[in-house]
Amino acid sequence: MASYSKGLEGVVAAETKMSFIDGEKGVLEYVGIPIGELATHSTFEETVFLLWNGRLPKRGELGDFSSKIRSLYDPPAEIEQMIARLPKEAQPMHAIRTLISALGMFDAKPNLTDLPSVREKATRLLACTPTILAYFHRHRQGKPLVRPDANLPLAENFLYMLNGTRPTPTMAKALDVCLVLHTDHGLNNSTFSARVVISTLSDIYSAITAATGSLRGPLHGGANEGVMVMLNEIPSVAAAEAYVLDKLARKDKIMGFGHRVYKSYDPRATHLKVLAKQLADDTGNSALYEKSAAIEKTMANAVAAKGIYPNVDFYSATTYHCIGLPLDLFTPMFVVGRIGGWSAHILEQLADNRLYRPDVDYKGPHAVAYTPIEQRS
């Protein structure tokens, strides 16, 4: 029996050529390119191409890939009809998980696992998931649906469908950067879930559905919603320090801090911190950013020596709020970005597949006699 590691911490369960993480130094690279370079110079579509192909695209290749994505913005008509019947009080993460799963029913050949077929299905999922999310949000508001605009890139088109008006260039760029930063992150819980499911030679819809369910949890993608709840609980910048110290004294978790991998500053948080400040200044949310900064300062004095720093969720909450996203769409936006990374891992898994089947260390009794029901007390 191999040694047991709770939560599989430190266990290497896959090989990848996509994202590299050095948690001690705060390094994240996609196919060798530092995440800050991509967040500054790239786009979400280009980043997905990089992960799916192991290299940056040439100009014509990027144009073709972007055009392909835009041609697939519209989901099947049956999905739109299904959205119209969903309860308006449904939580968006439950809605998007269910609708991603439902997409498999409107694929004539959903179970194909050859790489060209899976890539085609992944492109469709990448393209139409933002539309599905925007449609559900409009439905629950009782507003008419806004059809996708194939002239717009994915992030800008999503905000247009969500609000019915074109976003400012700053907001569109900010969301695009968030999607880049969220695209991939090693063998995190949801990515592992996707690889485990596809390793059975199941279908991509099942794998992405499983990953979405994993991401919903507050210890994974749902943490960014928790950060915003915390910020709303703090009445002012001046109250932030006492709030944090009180929670630390009670050994409560401060949402948006600490990471299983990073023992230094999360490089995604580094970029989001700058972005959040710019957006807060532009949108009249400076007080919200200052609360975030006050929380970070207090945490730095209290626990930074223990390797607890802001993670990607901490400043993404402020960023999403300044873009104008409702709180319960924060985690679904994580899904939109992460579908690119999940699909890349699914393709990588299928290229050299072996079924995931770990062992378990049994700790229960042995040779227990069966007691007839009439003799049980």
Among candidates 157, 148, 149, 136, which has minimal Cα distance to 45? 157
- Cα separation, 307 vs 135, in Å, equals 41
Close Cβ partners of 157 (under 8 Å, ≥ 6 residues apart): 70, 73, 130, 148, 149
Close Cβ partners of 7 (under 8 Å, ≥ 6 residues apart): 260
* H-type alpha helices, 54-188: 59-71, 77-85, 92-103, 115-141, 154-163, 169-182
Among candidates 15, 346, 348, 325, which has minimal Cα distance to 179? 325
Close Cβ partners of 230 (under 8 Å, ≥ 6 residues apart): 254, 255, 256, 295
Which of the following is catalytic: 137, 182, 313, 345?
313
Is 313 tagged catalytic?
yes
The SS3 assignment for 222 reads coil
Is 176 tagged catalytic?
no
What's at 52, amino acid-wise?
Answer: W
Angle at 91 between CA 89 and CA 97, to 5 degrees: 130
Q: State both tokens at 23.
A: 């948690």
Q: State both tokens at 121.
A: 């299905």
Among candidates 79, 51, 47, which has minimal Cα distance to 66? 47
Angle at 21 between CA 19 and CA 25, to 5 degrees: 150
Which of the following is catalytic: 259, 271, 321, 345?
259
Is 185 tagged catalytic?
no
Q: Which residues of 344-361 are buried (b: 16+ CB within 10 A; e: fewer)?
A: bbbbbbbeeeeeeeeeee
- Cα separation, 43 vs 153, in Å, equals 9
Catalytic residue ranges: 220, 259, 313
